[in-house]
Amino acid sequence: MQYQRIHPKGPEFSRIIAGVWNWADETINERCIAAALDCGITTFDHADIYGGYTIEELFGRILKQHPGLRNKMQLVTKCGIKLKVDNKPEHRIKHYDTTYEHIIQSVETSLKNLGTDRIDLLLIHRPDPLLNPQEVAKAFEDLYEKGKVLHFGVSNFTSTQFEMLQSFLPMPLVTNQLEVSLFKSDYLFNGVSDVMMKHHVGIMAWSPLGNGKYFDDLEKMQTLGVLADKYKVSTAKLLFAWLLAHPANLFPITGTTKTERIQEAAAALDVKLGQQDWFAMLKIIKGFDVA
């Protein structure tokens, strides 16, 4: 495994991150945490809302059972979305909430559910059109001063949303978590990755293998498979390697509950993808020369 700072003043993360959004019971959490740590993945990506507000608590049970575990890992979580779910009858509509009160309250709940005294990295989950940057700044400052959150970032933000919020904060936003894969590479071409690179901000890449639907295009997958064979690796490893070869400092998040998939993701760091093959993969998916 490779460990590196996601930003010059940000936390040191494992280059492959375990995403827990789908770790739906205690057994899965116990097994997956162990599998991740075994292959050097030390960073775990949460959100308050995952599993309908249930995953943080399931994950936290394991931490409580194994007191030494917390210090071997970095915890990322998010706030700012309010889901319309049965256990939140006060939410009449799915909406965003980035008020001071909600950010503070959400972090307090995350800390309690996770059974920890600190979040390594807190993200605003999605850009809120009602986001008041001064309120967010105050919430971040208070959480930082009390040691409850060590670093801050955002998720699914455009460049202008990122730079606007940053301009009101005393600390750097250290990441922008975005959907990036060979199949959905928009952010690498629409200016967002440029702006993140300008700010030395690493990108946490969610859905790094695309979603299952892409695997239905048998012809393209077969052509990718031929290239994977050349490297003597699985197509999934090749897809991780494609992200890792990009200069924008991408940290792919595996979203799996399968032990062998976690191991596969971690092992992708050994694949050194050639420059021409990087363009060849893009051409396979886009259907035309990118150069």
Q: Which residues are catalytic?
A: 50
- The pair of structure tokens assigned to 291 is 């150069």
Residue 287 binds its own copies, judged by CB under 8 A: no
Instruction: Assess 53 for contact with its own copies (CB under 8 A).
Output: no
Under rule CB under 8 A, which residues in 70-89 are in contact with its own copies? 81-82
The residue (of 3 and 189) whose beta carbon lies closer to its own copies is 189
Q: Which stretch binds its own copies (CB under 8 A): 2-10, 51-59, 156-164, 253-261?
A: 156-164
Using CB under 8 A as the binding rule, whether residue 197 contacts its own copies is answered as: yes
Q: Answer yes or no whether residue 52 interacts with its own copies by CB under 8 A.
A: no
Asked if residue 94 binds its own copies (CB under 8 A), the reply is: yes
Phi, psi of 129 (to 5 degrees): -60, -20
Minimum distance from CB of 35 to its own copies (Å)?
Answer: 32
Query: Which of residues 141, 163, 179, 217 is near its own copies by CB under 8 A?
Result: 163
- Residue 198 interacts with its own copies (CB under 8 A)? yes
Residue 133 binds its own copies, judged by CB under 8 A? yes
Half-sphere exposure of 68 (CA within 13 A, CB side): 2
Q: How far apart are CA 274 and CA 263, in angstroms?
A: 23
Tell me the sheet residues that pair with 151.
121
Contact by Cβ (8 Å): 96, 128: yes
| Cβ distance to its own copies smaller for residue 37 or 197 | 197
Question: Of the candidates 30, 179, 194, 217, which one interacts with its own copies according to CB under 8 A?
Answer: 194
Which lies closer to its own copies via its Cβ, residue 23 or residue 206? 206
Give the binding site for its own copies (CB under 8 A).
81-82, 91-97, 99, 126, 128-133, 158-161, 163-164, 167, 188-189, 191, 194-195, 197-198, 245-247, 275-276, 278-280, 282-283, 289-291
